[in-house]
Chains A and B, each alone.
Chain A
Amino acid sequence: MSHHSSPAMKLLAAPFLLMLAGLVVWPLATVLIDSFSKSGAWSLGNYAEILMSAYYGQSFVNSLLISVLTTAIGMTFGFLIAVGLRYRKGGTRRIAMALANIGANLAGVPLAMALVFLLGLNGTLTLLLKASGLIDTFNVYSLTGLIIAYCYFQIALAVLLIIPVLDAIEAELEEAASLIGVGTTRFWLRVGLPVVGRQMIAITTLLFANAMGTYATTLALTSTSVNVVTIRISELVSGDVFSDPNLANAIAMALLLVLVVPIVISQLLLKGDKR
């Protein structure tokens, strides 16, 4: 035990701690401190403005709506696809993993472009659906469009993360269940999911944070027309007319708070279920 806490061992951790300080603590501290500065004076004015403004309030509601929805969709489909791939060997599995890998990393401009080609006003799929009479009109440059776009990488990311987690459940367990007459659905509800519950909660949290923080895809697809948090922050930082970096800092802190809440809740949940 003693060598774990010896001064020499502590020294070895120094580069990491230094990096942590430089890349996380320092910027975060700057953002936090600056968020309390309004027109050159210390105040809670930035936070008050966020709370009072229906505009910023709506950006949080929209971001939360998109994130919760796409996390739920991502986890559901990700889980089903991962379970499906369990029963496939070699080729199919490799191809699906490659596609999921591409999907998880195909965000931002390329994803927006792809969606415009498919679902834009004159997109292939839009025209096809219109011609078949299934839809009257579809606007991809909207909240719905964003949800579809986010789903691309959310589902792909969920598949990538869930597959290795499910590998921890031995095939023998499923076989044992099938021999005693327990079907696939019941097996996953009563055994599979409870066994990997902790990891699933962790992945859900990650997906939620991933969606809350998405910026490039949003900007590329809908520019500033859909009111979400990341777009608001960027506008305040780089906008020519409404530039107010300190208000942006305050919004960033609020966003951080929104991300920390589910993490804390999930940690508390897991603690209660310590196995």
Chain B
Amino acid sequence: MTHLDLSAIGMRYGDNVILDGIDLSVAQGEMHVLLGPSGCGKTTLLRSIAGLVQPDRGAIHLAGRAIEKLHPKDRGIGMVFQHYALFPNMTVRQNLAFGLEQRRLARRVIDDKIDTVLEIVSLQDKADARPRQLSGGQKQRVALARALVLEPSLLLLDEPLSALDAQIRKRLRDELKRIQRQTGLTSILVTHDQDEALSLGDRISVMNKSRIAQTASGPEIFYRPADLFVAKFIGNANILTSDEFGRLIGREFDRTAVIHPHMFKIGKTSSDNSVFDISARVVEAGPAGNVVRYVMRASGIIFNVEAQTAMNAAHLVAGTEAIVTIDPSNAHFL
């Protein structure tokens, strides 16, 4: 069931088009990720939904209600910012209570709600700490709690993990996913990090130049990008022009091929007609734990191949000749 519906959201700033007719539907309980390079309009789109910026045109419906003209506080939306935006002069508890007090709830009710949410983000013992006493990850969990405690109908997350260092980022990512599942809260997360998008998003909208290039599930976006931009932005697939791919398989070909490195198989296969053998030379071999990344050359074309390493077998070294095979059904064509 559609929970949030955006139609024809448009915005320009002077001569610059920031948002160019954005249509998007997000289902109840979905974690939707807006992914794109900086300047693609993803943050502006998020801020438009929150009401922090006013788009020039378009309609926004949340749970069936038109909200595009409402003040941010009346939209029923919670938001988590990249740099936490905690009130520095208040304790964690006061930060969470600030919005609840505005609703004139009984002290008792406020305290109960805060305790419940602090438990969800595992920060019960930090209730009386001030933001400066918390680590980055803890601060962001407080920010999340502050949004959750108001029981919003939609949660917006603006690059919530970008300011954290790698290890904490991964931990908080898992926790974010758990909390989103647990609360069933419809969420939109903005990021420029494809790993984050692929691991968090039920669905992903890849944005490019003020438009949505593709909206689909993670695997769909990964294996079947809708256009060249998405193909280049997601993963590190080999993108071969029709001519290059044709030379590689020794046939005429008329479309661009998107082939992920692990879709090439090393070693000659049976004489299956639909699978093509390619005689290649290993240019570079880079073992990295469970995988080894090769750069190979065949018919003057350089391409990447990725294979699993084995405990009791050596990988190919640079300079070796090898046969790799590609099954076109494992490739995507544009």
Pick from B83-91, B180-188, B323-331 the stretch touching chain A. B83-91
Asked if A164 is an interface residue, CB under 8 A from chain B, the answer is no
Bound: A132/B73 CA distance, A: 46
Judge whether A178 and B89 touch: CB under 8 Å.
no
Asked if B77 is an interface residue, CB under 8 A from chain A, the answer is yes
Judge whether A190 and B88 touch: CB under 8 Å.
no
Given contacts A181-B73, A191-B90, contact A176 B102 (CB under 8 A): no
Pick from A5-13, A167-175, A234-242 the stretch touching chain B. A167-175
* A249-272 interface (Cβ within 8 A of B): none
Asked if B280 is an interface residue, CB under 8 A from chain A, the answer is no
* B78-103 interface (Cβ within 8 A of A): 78-79, 81-83, 85-90, 98-99, 102-103
Judge whether B89 and A181 touch: CB under 8 Å.
no
- Return the contact of A179 from the options B77, B87, B103, B130 (Cβ within 8 A): B77
Closest-CB distance, B185 to chain A (whole angstroms) = 15
Closest-CB distance, B146 to chain A (whole angstroms) = 7
Q: Which residue of B lies closest to A180 (CB)?
A: B99
Total A-B Cβ pairs within 8 A: 63
Asked if B150 is an interface residue, CB under 8 A from chain A, the answer is yes
Judge whether B83 and A179 touch: CB under 8 Å.
no
Residues of A within 8 A of B72 (CB): 175, 178-179
Bound: A191/B94 CA distance, A: 11
Judge whether A170 and B52 touch: CB under 8 Å.
no
- Return the contact of A172 from the options B71, B83, B90, B150 (Cβ within 8 A): B83
Q: Which residue of B lies closest to A191 (CB)?
A: B87
Given contacts A175-B81, A176-B85, A191-B90, contact A182 B52 (CB under 8 A): no
Closest-CB distance, A177 to chain B (whole angstroms) = 8
Asked if A85 is an interface residue, CB under 8 A from chain B, the answer is no
Judge whether A182 and B89 touch: CB under 8 Å.
no
Judge whether A181 and B85 touch: CB under 8 Å.
no
Asked if B305 is an interface residue, CB under 8 A from chain A, the answer is no
How many chain B residues sit at the interface, stated as a range, is 20 to 34
Judge whether B98 and A172 touch: CB under 8 Å.
no
Given contacts A173-B87, A191-B87, contact A180 B81 (CB under 8 A): no
Judge whether A195 and B102 touch: CB under 8 Å.
no
Bound: A170/B88 CA distance, A: 11
Residues of B within 8 A of A194 (CB): 89
Closest-CB distance, B260 to chain A (whole angstroms) = 38
- Return the contact of B146 from the options A172, A180, A275 (Cβ within 8 A): A180
Given contacts A175-B52, A178-B73, A179-B72, contact A195 B83 (CB under 8 A): no
Residues of A within 8 A of B87 (CB): 173, 176-177, 190-191, 195
Judge whether B85 and A172 touch: CB under 8 Å.
yes
Closest-CB distance, B64 to chain A (whole angstroms) = 21
Bound: A173/B90 CA distance, A: 12
Bound: A182/B98 CA distance, A: 8
Judge whether B102 and A175 touch: CB under 8 Å.
no
Q: Is the interface of A mostly helix, strand, loop or mixed?
A: helix
Asked if B161 is an interface residue, CB under 8 A from chain A, the answer is no
Bound: A190/B73 CA distance, A: 18
Given contacts A175-B52, A179-B73, A182-B102, contact A191 B89 (CB under 8 A): yes
Residues of A within 8 A of B73 (CB): 178-182
Closest-CB distance, B90 to chain A (whole angstroms) = 7
Q: Which residue of A lies closest to B152 (CB)?
A: A179
Bound: A63/B324 CA distance, A: 92
Judge whether B150 and A180 touch: CB under 8 Å.
yes
Asked if B50 is an interface residue, CB under 8 A from chain A, the answer is yes
Q: Which of B78, B81, B87, B146 has the most CB of A within 10 A?
A: B87
Judge whether A195 and B88 touch: CB under 8 Å.
yes
Judge whether B83 and A190 touch: CB under 8 Å.
no
Residues of A within 8 A of B50 (CB): 175, 179
Closest-CB distance, A200 to chain B (whole angstroms) = 13
Bound: A175/B73 CA distance, A: 10
Bound: A178/B146 CA distance, A: 13
Closest-CB distance, B140 to chain A (whole angstroms) = 13
Residues of B within 8 A of A182 (CB): 73, 98-99, 102
**What 0/1 readout, one digit per residue, does chain A (180-207) give for beta carbons within 8 Å of chain B?**
1110001000110011000000000000
Q: Which residue of A lies closest to B74 (CB)?
A: A181
Q: Which residue of A lies closest to B158 (CB)?
A: A172
Closest-CB distance, B148 to chain A (whole angstroms) = 11
Judge whether B99 and A170 touch: CB under 8 Å.
no
**What 0/1 readout, one digit per residue, does chain B (125-154) give for beta carbons within 8 Å of chain A?**
000001010000000000100100010000
Given contacts A172-B85, A173-B85, A191-B87, contact A179 B98 (CB under 8 A): no
| Given A182-B102, A195-B89, 9 further pairs, Cβ under 8 A | A170-B83, A173-B85, A176-B81, A178-B52, A179-B50, A180-B99, A180-B146, A180-B150, A190-B90
Query: Could you give 17 example pairs across A and B, Cβ below 8 Å?
Result: A172-B85, A173-B85, A175-B85, A176-B79, A176-B85, A176-B86, A176-B87, A178-B52, A178-B71, A179-B52, A179-B77, A179-B79, A180-B99, A181-B103, A182-B73, A190-B87, A191-B89
Task: Name the 8 nearest CB pairs between A and B, nearest first.
Answer: A180-B99, A181-B73, A172-B85, A176-B85, A194-B89, A181-B102, A191-B87, A172-B81
